[in-house]
Structure 1
Amino acid sequence: MEERRGEIRAAYTASTITVYQAYSPEIGLPAVREGRFPAAWKRDRMTWIKPSFRWMMYRCGWATKVDQETVLAVEITRDGFESALRGACLSSYVPGVHPDRATWRRQLKRAPTRIQWDPERDLRLQPLPYRSLQLGLSGEAARLYADEWTVGIRDVTPLAHEIHALVRDGALGPASRLLPREEPYPAAPGLLTHLRP
């Protein structure tokens, strides 16, 4: 099957979008309790957010990998999310998107955010024929994410464990029904033009 271009599929409302991250309990549990990232969360490091729950499960091994045992659903403003997209650069050089490699390097160095399109995953964490967005935030963008864009943080680790148990038992139908409902994100015309291979 031919691979489709990257698309943003997410759970969203009129004003927010849900993204996922996985942390150690030392970071994740205080974030849930306080509804914001604690001081121990390093605002000067690049952090990657993922609108796809299944891709997050692939990345954290259903919340079993070391320092990724706590999976957070982070609700952020759509305004913040879209401003991050507008300022982003692809994390790798793509002919046809960038005029040349040197221009891409300059753009990447200046951009506060970067984009990767990685194969979306099914419930067995096998690749699907379309790509899912990963959004890297650094510098001021990471600080804005943690301190201004975030409007709520939920612990979805129990959900990850429940779905994983069903998948292990071969109960893909019930597992699928528990997944967060993710729909194509209504990106404004031109918002992703500079970010699609």
Structure 2
Amino acid sequence: MEEPQRGIRAVHSESTITVYQAYPPDIGLPAAREGRFPAAWKRDRMTWIKPSFLWMMYRCGWGAKAGQETVLAVEISRDGFEWALRHACLSSYVSGVHPDRAAWQRELKRAPARVQWDPERDLRLQPLPYRALQLGLSGEAVRRYAEEWTVTIRDVTPLAHEIRALVSGGDLDSAARLLPRERPYPLGDGPDGLLAHLQG
């Protein structure tokens, strides 16, 4: 089955969806241990969450990039995730979605979330012909994410390292078997779809 150009693939249950972030150990380790973000985690800054494990691996270099050594799987409520999507603005101007560039800039300043689409990645972290979601949270959305939406936080750095070692050794089949089982996230169709307001 052909992948939609801009679909969301994720690990999800009836009530939650798993997203990924990477932090330095002084943030990531306490977050995983306590199941919530520590006081040192900045609630007044934008934070980006990624439903795609392999896109996160591309971004953090399998947990090897400075400041991104601890990879977290953050399970959040679907209600919260969908609230963020419904209140999101596109991260860049798209003719046909916004009346003009000024209108987009006004919306971007006002929106508590922003949607960005980047090429999905394969096991070798090479780009695929379809896109993965990055969801940026700011203001009210950041506070809700940290204080209301988060259900569990797990340290998946060992998994990242294990998969990377298998890929480096050329055992892509074994690496693929360890990947989180991501499947299409239901977005709904027509004017009531979760991303309808972001499409021209």
Which TM-score tier does this pair reach, normalised by the shorter chain? Answer: over 0.9
Q: Which residue of 1 aligns with 2:41?
A: 41
Kindly, what percent of the aligned residue pairs are identical? 78
- Judge conservation of contact 1:7–1:184 (CA < 8 Å) in 2: yes
Give the match's secondary structure for 1:131: strand
Q: Which residue of 2 aligns with 1:55?
A: 55
Number of residue equivalences: 196
Which deviations, in whole Å up to 9, do the C-alpha atoms of 1:37-70 show, x marking residues without a partner? 0101000000000000000000000000001000
Gaps of 5+ in 2: none
Q: 1: CA distance between counterparts of 2:94 and 2:181?
A: 31
Q: Which residue of 1 aligns with 2:195?
A: 192
Q: Which residue of 2 aligns with 1:100?
A: 100
Q: 2: CA distance between counterparts of 1:173 and 1:33?
A: 31
Q: Which residue of 1 aligns with 2:26?
A: 26
Q: 1: CA distance between counterparts of 2:83 and 2:167?
A: 36
Superposed displacement of residue 79, structure 1: 0.1
Q: 1: CA distance between counterparts of 2:36 and 2:103?
A: 37
Superposed displacement of residue 188, structure 1: 2.7
- AA aligned to 1:192 is L
Determine if the alignment matches structure 1 residue 176 to structure 2 residue 176: yes
Give the match's secondary structure for 2:55: helix
Q: 1: CA distance between counterparts of 2:89 and 2:40?
A: 28
Length-normalised TM-score, structure 2? 0.95
Superposed displacement of residue 96, structure 1: 1.4
Per mean C-alpha deviation after superposition, the further-off stretch among 103-112 and 49-58 is: 103-112
The 4+ residue runs of structure 1 with deviation greater than 3 A are none
Q: Which residue of 2 aligns with 1:165?
A: 165
Gaps of 5+ in 1: none
Alignment CA distance shift 1:79-1:139 (3 Å): same
Alignment CA distance shift 1:134-1:160 (3 Å): same
Superposed displacement of residue 3, structure 1: 9.2
Q: 2: CA distance between counterparts of 1:22 and 1:123?
A: 18
**RMSD after superposition:** 1.3
